[in-house]
Amino acid sequence: MHEHDVLVIGGGGAGLRAAIAAHEEGADVAIVTKLHPVRSHTGAAEGGINAALREGDDWELHAYDTMKGSDYLGDAPAIETLAQDSPEETVQLENWGMPFSREDDGTVSQRPFGGLSFARTTYAGAETGHHMLHTMYEQVVKRGIQVYDEWYVSDLAVTDHDDPSDRECHGVIAYDIKTGQIEGFKARNGVILATGGLGQVYDHTTNAVANTGDGPAMAYRAGVPLEDMEFVQFHPTTLPSTGVLISEGVRGEGGILYNSEGERFMFEYGYANNDGELASRDVVSRAELTEVNNGRGVEDEYVYLDMRHLGEERITDRLENILHLARDFEGVDGLEEPMPVKPGQHYEMGGIETDENGLTCIDGLYAAGECACVSVHGSNRLGGNALPELIVFGARAGRHAAGSDLGEAEITTGRTGEIEEEDGLDTPVEPGAVSASTEEDDAVADGGNAGGDDDAVADGGAAVVEPDETVRRAVERERTRIEHLLEKDTGVQHASLRADLQESMTENVNVFRNEEGLKQALEDIQEVREAYQDVYVSDPSRTFNTDLIHTIETRNLIDLAEAITLGALARDEFRGAHWRQEHQERKDDEWLKHTMLSWNEGTPELWYKPTILEGEDKTYEPKERSY
């Protein structure tokens, strides 16, 4: 068994920042990651980091823009912390050597981004994430932080207490992708999940194949509620044939959107009379699809993004990467032609419920980055606000897990605050129709987790609290599960199940949603879940068995697809990225609250907690959101 003070699961932006912070507090910290850190998806981030650095800007403006962008579903204390700490964290990156783009006078450049009232997006060309990742990885190497790369974490080692908020996390179980060994990792102080996005729930996404939501799925099954999962961001400018992102930086630099009639539709049809192309992402995505639905799309599918008028010098100086992406993935020369673009899944606003120190309701279990929901994005994330979230809340989680006293977080987690039961709502979820798992699920293919441990049930729920024993038992359970998957020689393969899931989610739980489609998605997810009981791995090898890894990941995608859809069906209003055909208005009286979903031993339970609109010095009053 490996043993460290703090285990960080994931080597992307959030994980690296958390590891550095924990190390600075004197902790023995290790990163366990299925990809080498610099292959993490943070490396794909193009546009930039929002930070109020310049005269004329301040954190209050950043906080206000973020709250408005969130459609008043973000929590004010978390939003204000993001806006207050982002400048210092960004300067810290600069001090570590991050090569930010600069003006002629040497100051760091900032560009306009959607939904921002000030040009506050700091960037390094159109490769901001790549440079951010490499800058922080250098610091990890310099500090001698141990990295277990190509280790796949398949479950958490959590005690068996009946009430999730009594549980403790003592480590993780990981599968060495290079050798096939399954081992326990014990964390003396804490485990920080920093596993990134879940874009593989959809088939048209800007996310990498590795973005399978492993962290949220593991935390959810261990008893931590998922928050606001229905809020999925669809980015307005992705390449139609691959989903590869064309950064908002193109519109920030002055790029223009046209429909098939050559009209600048954002203004022509009044979608955003002030900000036009630089309206918030949800607004632009809906506008594009409305154009297509009204017959003004190109090939009934996409619109054009034109940057030719910016000129070759400016494009190659600030957006060179975009030229490569458009040419390599769509065969288009951005200097000579407009680029075809359409909305694609991009970001999950919801995630593992945490407080401002990254702590979940399970003692010793933290989360940060895209897998977490602290909540700064509410129902719609502003471009350029994810990268600061990684460094601000990654650092806080690292410090806290290492034992530093950051004071009480203002947001409580778990079912301790003011809550509203699902029964009190007119929720359209039909009992039984969407049950997340059957009893057999917990047996073999699904494996179960600490919260559903067979022995604990037989013991009448007796709690195992001794850390080494908790990890050892979790290792045994994972060995049994994985051996079973490898030994089974017939059944259904994960690829067809994953494709069915992605197809239904893309069809039914996209930018435009309606009750019939959401119910259809839940039926499809249930079918996939049942079929997964018979899943098998065709490749029996022990080394670099991607078939096995993808099979385990597919189970996570099923649980998360269901979480997204359950939340979307219950929320009968239009807020941020969540649009409902039958309910096209924001209903503040009823819905100014976070959707919470508890695993509840396989029968998901929806409940709600209020949004916090009271900030440090003011209350953010919900206003009509126009751009």
Ligand X SMILES: Cc1cc2nc3c(=O)[nH]c(=O)nc-3n(C[C@H](O)[C@H](O)[C@H](O)COP(=O)(O)OP(=O)(O)OC[C@H]3O[C@@H](n4cnc5c(N)ncnc54)[C@H](O)[C@@H]3O)c2cc1C
Q: Which stretch in 8-16, 463-471, 495-503, 618-626 sits in contact with ligand X by CB under 6 A? A: 8-16
Which is nearer to ligand X, 18 or 509 (by Cβ)?
A: 18
Nearest distance in Å: CB 56, ligand X: 22
- Residue-wise DSSP of 43-66: GG--S-EE---STT--HHHHHHHH
Q: How far apart are CA 467 and CA 171, in angstroms?
A: 8
Which residue's Cβ lies closest to ligand X? Answer: 12
Write down the least CB distance from residue 477 to ligand X, Å.
Answer: 16
Question: Residues binding ligand X: what is the number (CB under 6 A)?
Answer: 43
In the block, residue with structure tokens 């492993």: 214
**CB 148, CB 31: distance < 8 Å:** yes
**497 neighbors 564 (Cβ within 8 angstroms):** no
**Of 194 and 402, CB closest to ligand X:** 194
Distances (CA, A) of 501 to 152, 305, 565: 23, 30, 12
Contact 227, 564 (CB under 8 A): no
Question: Measured between alpha carbons, how far is 233 from 198 in angstroms, rounded to an integer?
Answer: 11
Q: Among 4, 5, 7, 15, indicate the residue that binds ligand X (CB under 6 A).
A: 15
Query: Is the Cβ–Cβ distance between 149 and 37 less than 8 Å?
Result: yes
114 binds ligand X (CB under 6 A): no
- Shortest CB 383 distance to ligand X, Å: 6
Q: β-strand 169-176 against 151-158: which pairing, if any? A: antiparallel
Q: 46, 155, 203, 601: which one contacts ligand X (CB under 6 A)?
A: 46
Q: Can you tell me the distance from the alpha carbon of 302 to that of 593, in angstroms, rounded to the nearest whole number?
A: 34
Q: Please provide the DSSP assignment of 556-613 as one string.
A: HHHHHHHHHHHHHHH--S-BTTBEETTB-S--HHHH-EEEEEE-GGGS-EEEEEE---
Strand, coil or helix: 598: strand
Number of H helices, E strands in the chain: 17, 22
Q: What share of the chain is helix, strand, coil (3-state, %, to 5)?
A: 40, 20, 40
Among 19, 45, 79, 217, which residue interacts with ligand X (rule: CB under 6 A)?
A: 45
Q: Interface with ligand X by CB under 6 A: which range of 37-45, 55-63, 159-167, 181-189?
A: 37-45
CA-CA distance, 515 to 311, in Å (whole number)? 46
Residue closest to 352 by CA, chosen among 213, 154, 216: 216
Which of 194/511 has CB closer to ligand X? 194
Beta strands, E only, 360-466: 365-367, 372-373, 420-421
Using rule CB under 6 A, residue 551 touches ligand X? no
Q: Does 350 bind ligand X (CB under 6 A)?
A: no
SS (H, E, C) 489-505: CCCECHHHHHHHHHHHH
**195 binds ligand X per the rule CB under 6 A:** yes
Nearest distance from C-beta of residue 431 to ligand X, angstroms:
32
| CA pair distance 177, 32, nearest whole angstrom | 12
Choices 27-35, 160-168, 251-259, 472-480; region in contact with ligand X by CB under 6 A? 27-35
E-assigned strands of 26-132?
Answer: 29-33, 49-50, 110-111, 121-122
Query: How big is the chain by its Cα radius of gyration, in Å?
Result: 23
Q: How far is the CB of 44 from ligand X (least distance, A)?
A: 4
Which one from 221, 281, 318, 575 is the annotated catalytic residue? 281
- Assess 44 for contact with ligand X (CB under 6 A): yes
The stretch near ligand X (CB under 6 A) out of 33-41, 76-84, 306-314, 336-344 is: 33-41
Contacts of 527 (CB under 8 A, 6+ apart): 500
CB of 42 to ligand X, least distance (A): 3
Stretch that binds ligand X, among 104-112, 378-386, 436-444, 480-488 (CB under 6 A): 378-386
Q: Give the span between the Cα atoms of 87 and 106, in whole angstroms.
A: 17
Q: Looking at 255-263, 366-374, 592-600, 612-620, which segment touches ligand X (CB under 6 A)?
A: 366-374
Among 22, 29, 217, 245, binds ligand X (CB under 6 A): 245
Using CB under 6 A as the binding rule, whether residue 291 contacts ligand X is answered as no
Residues pairing with 233 in the sheet: 347
| Residue 81 is a binding residue for ligand X (CB under 6 A) | no
Using CB under 6 A as the binding rule, whether residue 398 contacts ligand X is answered as: no
Reading the block at residue 504, the tokens are 């239904």
- Is 90 a binding residue for ligand X by CB under 6 A? The answer is no
Residue 390 found at the interface with ligand X (CB under 6 A): yes
Closer by beta carbon to ligand X, 69 or else 517: 69
Among 129, 338, 398, 615, contact with ligand X (rule: CB under 6 A): 129
Interface with ligand X, residue 385, by CB under 6 A: yes
Binding mask 198-237 for ligand X (x = CB under 6 A): --------xx--x---x-----------------------
CB of 214 or CB of 524, closer to ligand X? 214
Sheet bearing 49-50, strands edge to edge: 49-50, 121-122, 110-111
Task: Check the CA dihedral 18-21-27-28 and report its sign.
Answer: positive
Applying CB under 6 A, which of residues 7, 21, 29, 32 lies at the interface with ligand X? 32
Name which of 456 and 537 has its Cβ closer to ligand X. 537
Phi, psi dihedral angles at 287 (to 5 degrees): -60, -45
| Rounded Cα gap, residues 37 and 330, in angstroms | 28
- Name the minimum Å distance from CB 487 to ligand X: 22
- Partners of 606 in beta bridges: 597
Encoded tokens for 384: 């350029």
With contact defined as beta carbons under 8 Å apart, do 556 and 213 qualify? yes
User: According to CB under 6 A, which one of 51, 194, 315, 521 is a site residue for ligand X?
Assistant: 194
Contact between 11 and ligand X (CB under 6 A)?
yes
Q: Decide if residue 128 touches ligand X (CB under 6 A).
A: yes
Annotation marks residue 281 as catalytic: yes
Q: Which is nearer to ligand X, 341 or 425 (CB)?
A: 341
Q: Which is nearer to ligand X, 349 or 606 (CB)?
A: 349
Closer Cβ to ligand X, 191 or 597, answer by number: 191
Is 40 a binding residue for ligand X by CB under 6 A? The answer is yes
Closest CB to ligand X among residues 73, 592: 73
Catalytic residue IDs: 281
Binding site for ligand X (CB under 6 A): 9-15, 32-35, 37, 40-42, 44-48, 128-129, 152-153, 194-197, 206-207, 210, 214, 245, 346-347, 369-371, 384-387, 390
